[in-house]
Chain A
Amino acid sequence: MAEGLRAYGLIVAMWIRSTMAYRASFVMTTVGNFAATSLDFVAILLMFSRVEALGGYALPEIAFLYGLSSVAFGLADLAIGSMDRLGRRVRDGTLDTLLVRPAPVLAQVAADRFGLRRLGRVTQGALVLGYALTTVDIDWTPLKVLLMPVMLLSGAVIFCAVFVGGAAFQFVAQDASEVQNAFTYGGTTLLQYPPTVFGKELVRGVTFVLPLAFVNWLPASYVLGRPYPLDLPTWVAFSPPLVAVGCCALAGMAWRAGLKSYRSTGS
């Protein structure tokens, strides 16, 4: 684990330096990333020019959900978002050059093509979250304050697990990066809206199958004092760290299985 983090840090530093070789390009892509991800919020603003509430949620509350989801996902995307390129590495055989290095492959793949421009999304999400915190009417308690960083961190870890699981799948299906994007980028877009606008089946799916509901829906319902989706008990608002650990364990197993299958079959 420590060895993996060390290798990750070393490779990320190299990518940051590579990025800085083209400073103007870096600034432009970061601004572009910021602008492109902002459009999601612009869409929400446009809707609110017509309606007062969406699924019973007012704009500040939606901004709260949006900010939480964007920051959590943005952090995961920044950290290991290029893992969806694994399929390409498998196809063109460059994964082999990572397998001859004395460092865990997962760490090397996670750091691969580290894109500092993705700070654009995190910044954008943080700004929206900041706006929400100043406008939304929350009855703050110490527990709720504590839940905020826990929620963001657990959410980022849950999304990381989805990235790793998706990458593991690409060992088997090498052109599945679009499938993976549906769950990662698609997932965060889903979480930007309140659970009340979606059908019960979908909410069940993202609670019990792919547990994205634990990124923001459930803990945010507690903070906002809203009824929980699916009438779940109150304590589930505090379960995101456990869910995150569970997701990591599953993703780790999937990764091991994927790598094992690659090493027994090649490309």
Chain B
Amino acid sequence: MTGGGFIELDRVEKVFDVRKKTGFLRWERRQVRAVDSLSFSVARGEMVGYIGPNGAGKSTTIKMLTGILTPSGGRLRVAGIDPSRERTRLAHRIGVVFGQRTTLWWDLPLIDSYKLMHRMYRIPDARYRSNLEQCVELLQLDALLDVPVRQLSLGQRMRGDIAAALLHDPEVLYLDEPTIGLDVISKARVREFLRELNTERGTTVLLTTHDLQDIEQLCSRVMVIDHGRLMYDGPLAGLHEAGESERTLVVDLERELPPIDAPAPARVVRVEGPRQWLAFPAAQSAAPLVARIAAEYPLVDLSVREPDIEAVIARMYADRATA
């Protein structure tokens, strides 16, 4: 865990003192370990999904990475900078988007917020213009620049916030729930943009989300955190194996039939009229199973459903809890 990574965490801890009222003027002090000996490294240009249930320590980690919170222990570096000690120096090199807290100026046209970023970050004029142009084009903000932020829809505002976080050319972008509350089209647009940002500019992206489609569509690497500890760190596919997840084959037959006699470990899990659902291991190819059914049954249509990562993670937690 030394050198190499753009973001480096080595046994980072964060302990909070929580005071709980137990009676009139009586308080009980309790220590909560929000982040517990967390170590990982993210290389420049990676796009990483950071997931876990509420209160798992995701936000605390992001706050330490941005210099908002000071770690209680361990070593943490972003671009070689200790975030808590050199918060303002780091600020020039990172971009942060808090999904539920806009940094845009409510009563002013969108462009005014960008002008403030221009001056506050001391972005060279040419740089600012070209970055703004690029963001406006890719995020389709053209018609919105002169609209007061309060009149923007949630999706438009989120796009506006993302642009605001990128005008100073950050090397790393942290996104906290970037697609929360957005409609399908807005989500797609945001994801498309992030993908381009990552491939074109090589910006390192770390995003926390509850929307697992974000991860599926964007991140080659996933980190799962729970109770302040890293539970999983690796490719998305591996997460399925770790959770022993299953894919589902949905077949539509010509008519109602008794459950299909499938070769184990595949099995019918649900029958509804002529439609049947078969579960089979995610790691296994669907082809032999499909071929077999097509040969023996009057098949009209079929589709394969990928496993729900949420379920996978839930199962993973359950495994760890009983282990």
Which residues of A are at the interface with B, using a C-beta cutoff of 8 A? Answer: 7, 10-11, 14, 17-18, 21-22, 93-94, 96-97, 99-104, 260, 263-266
| Cβ A99 vs Cβ B107 within 8 A | no
Q: Can you show 25 pairs from A to B with CB atoms below 8 A apart?
A: A14-B105, A14-B116, A17-B108, A17-B112, A21-B108, A94-B101, A96-B63, A97-B96, A99-B66, A99-B67, A100-B66, A100-B67, A100-B68, A100-B94, A101-B91, A101-B120, A102-B88, A102-B89, A102-B92, A102-B120, A263-B70, A263-B84, A264-B69, A264-B70, A264-B72
A242 to chain B, nearest CB (A): 31
A103 engages B88 (CB within 8 Å)? yes
Q: Are B69 and A93 in contact (CB under 8 A)?
A: no
B106 within 8 A of A: yes
Instruction: Report Cα–Cα, A19/B105, bound state, in Å.
Output: 12
**Please, which residue of chain A has its CB at the minimum distance from the CB of B88?**
A102
Q: A100-B96, A264-B70 are in contact. Are A14 and B108 (CB under 8 A)?
A: yes
Query: Closest residue of chain B to A103, judged by CB?
Result: B120
User: In this assembly, does B16 line the interface, its C-beta being within 8 Å of a C-beta of chain A?
Assistant: yes
In the complex, the chain B residue whose C-beta lies closest to that of A9 is: B119
Which residues on A sit within 8 Å (CB–CB) of B68? Answer: 96, 99-100, 263, 266
CA distance A94 to B84 in the complex (A): 18
In chain B, residues 80-107, which have Cβ atoms closer than 8 Å to a Cβ of chain A? 84, 87-89, 91-92, 94, 96, 98, 101, 103, 105-107
The answer to whether B120 touches A10 (Cβ under 8 A) is yes
Q: Known interface pairs A100-B67, A102-B121, A266-B60. Does A93 touch B148 (Cβ–Cβ under 8 Å)?
A: no
A-B contact count, CB below 8 Å? 66
Please judge, given known A-B contacts A7-B120, A10-B116, whether A102 and B16 are in contact too, CB under 8 Å.
Answer: no
State the CA gap A18–B149 with chains docked (Å): 11
B125 lies within 8 A of chain A by Cβ: no
A265 touching B16 by the CB < 8 A rule? Answer: yes
Contact: A22 with B67, CB < 8 Å? no
The distance in angstroms between the C-alpha atoms of A51 and B89, with both chains bound, is 62
Q: Are B88 and A104 in contact (CB under 8 A)?
A: yes
- Given A99-B66, A100-B96, 13 more A-B residue pairs with CB atoms under 8 Å apart are A17-B112, A21-B108, A96-B101, A97-B96, A97-B101, A100-B68, A101-B91, A104-B88, A263-B84, A264-B69, A264-B70, A265-B17, A266-B16
Docked pose: A164 CA to B208 CA in angstroms: 35
Residue of chain B at shortest CB distance from A11 = B116
**B104-136 vs A, Cβ < 8 Å mask (1 yes, 0 no):** 011110001000100111000000000000000
CB of A237, distance to nearest CB on chain B (Å): 41
Q: Are A97 and B119 neighbours in the complex by a CB distance under 8 Å?
A: no
Tell me the minimal C-beta distance from B18 to chain A in angstroms.
9
The interface residues of chain A lying within 8 Å CB-to-CB of B101 are: 93-94, 96-97
Interface centre among A102, A263, A266 (most CB of B within 10 A): A102
Contacts of B148 in A (CB 8 A): 21
Residue of chain A at shortest CB distance from B176: A96
**Given the known A-B contacts A93-B101, A266-B16, A266-B63, are A102 and B91 also in contact in the complex, defined by CB atoms under 8 Å?**
yes
Tell me which residues across on chain A come within 8 A of B72, comparing CB atoms.
264
Q: Contacts of B89 on A, CB cut-off 8 Å?
A: 102
Contact of B98 (CB < 8 Å), options: A17, A97, A263, A264: A97
* Complex CA–CA separation, A7 to B119 (angstroms): 9
What CA separation (Å) do A230 and B44 show in the bound complex?
A: 67
**Nearest B residue to A96 by beta-carbon distance?**
B68
Docked pose: A22 CA to B121 CA in angstroms = 28
Nearest chain B CB to A96 CB, angstrom units: 5
| Complex CA distance for A7 and B120, rounded to whole angstroms | 7
Q: Closest B residue to A17 by CB, please name it.
A: B108
Output the nearest chain B residue to A97 by Cβ-Cβ distance. Answer: B103
| Residues of B147-186 contacting chain A, CB below 8 A | 148
Q: In whole angstroms, what is the CA distance A22 to B88 when docked?
A: 34
Are A10 and B119 also in contact (CB < 8 A) when A99-B66, A100-B91, A266-B16 are? yes
Task: Please report the C-alpha to C-alpha distance between residue A17 and residue B106 in the assembled complex, in whole angstroms.
Answer: 11
Mask of B39-76 contacts with A, CB within 8 angstroms, 1/0: 00000000000000000000010010011111010000
| Chain B, residue nearest A100 (CB) | B96
A-B pairs with lowest CB-CB distance, top 9: A102-B91, A18-B107, A99-B68, A100-B96, A21-B107, A102-B88, A263-B70, A97-B103, A100-B66
Chain A residues contacting B87 (CB-CB under 8 Å) are 99
**Chain B nearest CB, measured from A203 CB (Å):** 33
- The residue in chain A whose Cβ has the minimal distance to the Cβ of B72 is A264
What CA separation (Å) do A88 and B297 show in the bound complex? 65
Say how far B40's CB is from chain A's closest CB, in angstroms. Answer: 21
Which residues does chain A contribute within 8 Å of B69, judged by CB atoms? 263-264, 266
Nearest-neighbour CB distance to chain A for B128, whole angstroms, equals 15
Min Cβ gap B21→A in Å is: 14
| Least distance between A220 CB and chain B CB atoms (Å) | 41
Bound state CA distance, A23 and B87, in angstroms?
38
Question: Nearest-CB distance from B145 to chain A (Å)?
Answer: 15
Chain B residues near A103 (CB, 8 Å)? 88, 120
A94 to B312, CA, bound (A): 33
Say how far B161's CB is from chain A's closest CB, in angstroms.
10
